[in-house]
Amino acid sequence: MPSAERILLALFLFAFVARAFIPAWRQLNSDFPDQYLAARLHRQGYPADQFYDWIWFERQKDHAEIDLPLVTFIPLTFPSTLLILPWSSLPPLEAKHAWLAVNLLCLGLTAVLMKASTSFPWRRIGLLIFLVFAPLRANLLLGQMHIVVLFLLALAAWLYFEDWSFISGVVVAAAAAIKIYPALFLLFFLVKKQWRAVAGVIVGLGAAAMVSVYSFGLDACRVFAREILPRAVIGENLDPYDLEWNSFTALLRRLFIAEPELNPSPVAHLPSLYAFLHPLIHVFLLVAFLWAVYFATEDRAGRKLQWGCYLFLLLWVSSLPALYHFVALILTGTLVTEYLLERKQTTRAGIFLCLLLLPLGPYSRFYQPSATGWRILLFFPRLYFLSLLGGLLFWILVWHSSESLRSRLRSRSTILATLAFVILTAGSFLSNLHHFRGQFDNYPNRVVVLSTVGMQAEPTLNSRDLFFSALVASPGSFSYAYKLARLRDGSTSTRSGSGDWLHPSAGSESIWVEEATSSSRIVRLAAADFGEAHLGLPVEAEGAEQPVVAPDEELLAFTRELRGVNSLWIRPLGTQLSGGGSASERELAGPEYDARDVAFFPDHRLVFSSKRSGQFRLYAVEPKTGVIGEMDVPTCSARYPAISRDGNWLAFSCEQSGSWQIHILNLQTGQESQRTDAECNCTRSVWAVDARELIYETDCGRGLGLSALARLRVR
């Protein structure tokens, strides 16, 4: 038997090197560039409050010349960026090489900790590690953080078994600062009345928060706490309908919540049913496992079993778990297998290991994203196998107690658990209903619905067409790119240049668009030539971003960025560039204002947003004199100004409880009204020519920042 185990371990090791480590060493892939780019920007002094802006972050990727189609910092945490910081000065692939070395070190240390925590020989530790081969491979290929999280959870477990409870809690908090889900170990410690561990988690999370504020600034941390974290917790940080997640959250969304592009044909659009079933399932599983953990015996074997089972539970109920998350099953597999073998339950150990492997199969190649109706149920095999494994682990936990099942069911603790289940389910149900209120009202008013478009953003109009930036999937691949899109007579077409095309601004005959490569420049495209190949386009401004053309097309405003901070510039149209710029270009607002969003009045005055003391304010600037003044209204934290062509109306977005809502201000009367109020974001807008409606970005019913375009009738 030992010889067979050694041969099998050698085969696993060869496969790991050949199929995981070497390909990971040679390729950049995603998701490593997301955190690498954030670390690089942080090292260079860029403000971190913009990291979660999809388009801003993509622009920085282009400027850094990272050879990858798409990046996003959602839903990553700031402390996770600090892990990459030591290598952020290296080229991306070299930085990944260093990160892979860190991963191997963490994997080796995890093996040492599992050896110290169990009675297994080294060969069995190695076998149990490489049994979870697919998640390990995914972590290395994508440069993910979950091997580091596995190491921290293994360290926290060993400390807990050795009665170093406070330090165990601190280490759990460190893992939660990188990936959020370990924070739920706080409930585990509370149920076990491990008050020192509870204190450790609280102190550790507080320390992580202080490090984040010190390193990235209060504004950035406020954005994460108010705008990112709440939606990440409920699974709305990325596309929540993606079959790849294979979670209860994704299944219920695919079955009972419609979305015109991402999920057009569910069984039925029943948000209230989702609002009930989602907490019912999650709270039931959480309370049931904690109830079983409470009654489990407190010997060393019992502690190890409880830790392994509870860690599995956190993966099972995660909203958006990808394959690489399940590398944590290495710890669950080791602790539970030892428990069963120590009790001579060899058959159960074999069944457990088989069930442990089943969720890790290559099921994604069989998914059909276009599945509709009840056929959706066919494409959640990982969730079903996880549920079988969860049932087995719960059964093992229930029977690991010195008390009879009858006495446990009749105990006061069971009554309290039942009461907690009812209260938490009811509270979550009401919270979900409140969260969904108004989220789907925009569906009938969607401007364009295309299955190949993952995001529609930055709309602009002329008298005939709608232009916007579109995150478009290449046919037959998972590669995305930002392209210029046009909607004409109900038909949509897209065009691109040598880089990402961002932030179009439309005139009567031309479109000005930012072309982002190693730097950004503004090019002009004739609307009549939209269907032609775009080579040698006229350049209106070099080193410039976010073009905005005046209504009479006499002036072009744009921003220039230095380490993430913008200055506002203007130039007359119709003049030729000489060399790298034009003598007619003038700076209107310096970097001290960091102009974020710009719009023209009909008389050539401009309005832009600028952040002051954690809030955005709107400023008006006179281009002839350069005089800048803060507008008296609005009084909220306001961004994304849009001026109607008659100059009578101002649309903008106010930040309210972590969401951005559309407001309308009558500039003649000073009357202000709020036009959206759902717990989602309604941002960049543009007025129709007749000033009777707006077209705006919304991520309602979708993932955070993954916007669509909708119409809003305002008069």
Is the pLDDT at 224 greater than 60, yes or no? yes
Looking up tokens 């089972």 gives: 309
Residue 566 confidence class, pLDDT cut points 50, 70, 90? very high
Tell me how far apart the alpha carbons of residues 505 and 524 are, in angstroms, rounded to a whole number: 10
Residue 16 confidence class, pLDDT cut points 50, 70, 90? very high
Secondary element (H or E) of residue 618:
strand 615-621
Express each pLDDT in 99-153 by its tens digit: 999 999 999 999 999 999 999 999 999 999 999 999 999 999 999 999 999 999 9
Express each pLDDT in 169-194 by its tens digit: 999 999 999 999 999 999 999 999 99
Tell me how far apart the alpha carbons of residues 638 and 448 are, in angstroms, rounded to a whole number: 27
Is the pLDDT at 68 greater than 90, yes or no? no
Tell me how far apart the alpha carbons of residues 551 and 262 are, in angstroms, rounded to a whole number: 35
How high is the pLDDT of residue 192? 94
How high is the pLDDT of residue 288? 95
Express each pLDDT in 625-658 by its tens digit: 888 899 988 989 999 999 999 999 999 999 999 9
Is the pLDDT at 704 greater than 70, yes or no? yes
How high is the pLDDT of residue 400? 82
How high is the pLDDT of residue 223? 94
How high is the pLDDT of residue 535? 65
Express each pLDDT in 607-616 by its tens digit: 999 998 889 9
Q: What average pLDDT does range 337-365 have in this prediction? A: 92
Q: Quick check: 432 and 395 in contact, CB under 8 A?
A: no
Q: Where in the chain is the domain with CATH 2.120.10.30?
A: 443-713
Q: Quick check: 557 and 548 in contact, CB under 8 A?
A: yes
Tell me how far apart the alpha carbons of residues 179 and 323 are, in angstroms, rounded to a whole number: 15
Span of 109-118, 342-351, 394-403 with lowest mean pLDDT: 394-403
Of residues 562 and 530, the one with the higher pLDDT is: 562
> Class of 443-713 per CATH?
mainly beta
Residue 464 confidence class, pLDDT cut points 50, 70, 90? confident
Q: What average pLDDT does range 381-394 have in this prediction? A: 97
Q: What average pLDDT does range 231-237 have in this prediction? A: 92
Average pLDDT score over the chain = 92
Helices first, then strands: H and E counts in the chain:
22, 23
Q: How many other CB atoms are found less than 10 A from the CB of residue 92? A: 22
How high is the pLDDT of residue 474? 66
Structure tokens at 653: 């977005």
DSSP-derived secondary structure for 50-85: GTT-HHHHHHHHHHTT---S----TT--HHHHHHHG
Express each pLDDT in 246-292 by its tens digit: 999 999 999 999 999 999 999 999 999 999 999 999 999 999 999 99
Spell out the residues 6+ positions from residue 381 whose beta carbon is closer than 8 angstroms to its own: 246, 361, 363
Q: Quick check: 188 and 310 in contact, CB under 8 A?
A: yes
Task: Quote the percentage of the chain above a pLDDT of 70.
Answer: 97
Secondary element (H or E) of residue 430:
helix 412-436
How high is the pLDDT of residue 69? 83
Tell me how far apart the alpha carbons of residues 560 and 545 are, in angstroms, rounded to a whole number: 6
Is the pLDDT at 213 greater than 60, yes or no? yes
Q: What average pLDDT does range 504-520 have in this prediction? A: 94
Residue 240 confidence class, pLDDT cut points 50, 70, 90? very high
Tell me how far apart the alpha carbons of residues 586 and 411 are, in angstroms, rounded to a whole number: 77
β-bridge pairing 491-495 and 500-506: unpaired
Q: How far apart are the first and last CA of the chain?
A: 80
510-516: strand order across its sheet = 500-506, 510-516, 520-526, 539-542
Q: What angle do CA 40, 43, 45 make, to 5 degrees?
A: 110
- The Cα-based distances of 477 to 473, 480, 481, 608 in angstroms read 7, 8, 12, 39
